[in-house]
Amino acid sequence: MQYRTLGRTGIKVSPYCLGAMMFGGIANADHDDCIRIIHKALDFGINFVDTADRYSSGESEEIVGKALKGRRDNIVLATKVHGPMGEDPNQQGGSRRWITRAVEDSLRRLQTDHIDLYQIHRPSPDTDIEETLSVLTDLMRAGKVRAIGSSTFPASEIIEAQWVAERRGLARFRTEQPPYSILNRSIEREVLPICERYGMGALVWSPLAKGMLTGRYRKGQPLPESLRVKVFREQMADERNLDAVERLIPIAEAAGLSLTHMAMAFVMAHPGVTSAILGPRTEQQLDDLLAGAEVVLSDEILNQIDDVVAPGTDAGPMGAVYSPPAVTLTSLRRRPLAERRAA
């Protein structure tokens, strides 16, 4: 295993990071099975594990905590905070009030006294980034957190966080966790170059585009029953995504590769990517992903992929990414009707 440095933290991590989103009631509720999957990944040489408090309402963290007993010191453990963890409106977000409590809950579930990488899962438009960085800085000084990062932040907010940290003398984000795949390449325009400029590690999620790049979802065929289809049916059925997949499959076959292995090797080829997050639900899925760990794509294959989905573009809309209020709130996109009429 050729380990890489996580940004400029000095922390060495494996090129593959084991993502734990599928562990727990949301996908695989068998704790013993999940623990076997985690142990197999660690035995393979993966030393980087990523979870989040909201995955299965904390159950994922509990499973990871049990799996790392006796092996914690050799693992770079990452988790995230931001998503709602209850009905109370203050049990979410990036405020000092919530993060101070949430980190203690995560530490308890993970059965550890520190988190190696604590990430803000999504931006909080209603919270000053200085508020968030301030509490994270205090957690680092208290020894509960070793490094901090962001996840799915727009380029402008990554830069703002870096500037605020510098001007206020606060700890700065050392990593960004964005979505990245052959079908979802928008971060090549700004996010990855910005990460490289600021020395931030990039651990990319959904390198298989929510399963679209496994070959299970084909044009003209009914969608298989799965959790991903239930949640992301619109994206799975999008004609542009399906058209791209049909053009990618022959490229993989000509290279003697599965579409899955070609997709994983594609994201690892970008110089700005530190690690790609694997999200297996079963041991069989993990075995298949690990079997392609040594695949390296030639320039010819990468050029062919570029012809299908151009650099910096997306084949079709993919869900679960962050949309800023300027897009989601009608009031920020339209002048009041009276004002429009007066004009």
**How does DSSP classify residue 212?**
G
Any residues with CB less than 8 A from the CB of 53 and at least 6 apart, and which? 61, 79, 80, 81, 83, 85, 102, 105, 106, 109
Please give the backbone phi and psi of residue 11, each rounded to the nearest 5 degrees, phi first: -80, 130
Please give the backbone phi and psi of residue 49, each rounded to the nearest 5 degrees, phi first: -125, 130
Tell me if residue 55 is catalytic: yes
Radius of gyration of the chain (CA): 20
Q: Could you tell me which of 158, 213, 156, 148 has the C-alpha nearest to residue 180?
A: 213
Work out whether the CA dihedral 163, 203, 205, 61 comes out positive or negative.
Answer: negative
C-alpha torsion angle, residues 92, 96, 99, 105 (rounded to 10): -110
Q: 16, 55, 180, 217: which one is catalytic?
A: 55
Concatenated DSSP letters for 224-289? PP-HHHHHHHHHHT-HHHHHHHHHHHHHHHHTT--HHHHHHHHHHTSTT--EEEE--SSHHHHHHH
Q: How far is CA 117 from CA 44, 208, 279, in A?
A: 22, 23, 18
Q: How far is CA 121 from CA 43, 50, 58, 70, 84, in A?
A: 28, 12, 14, 28, 11
Instruction: Please list the active-site residues.
Output: 55
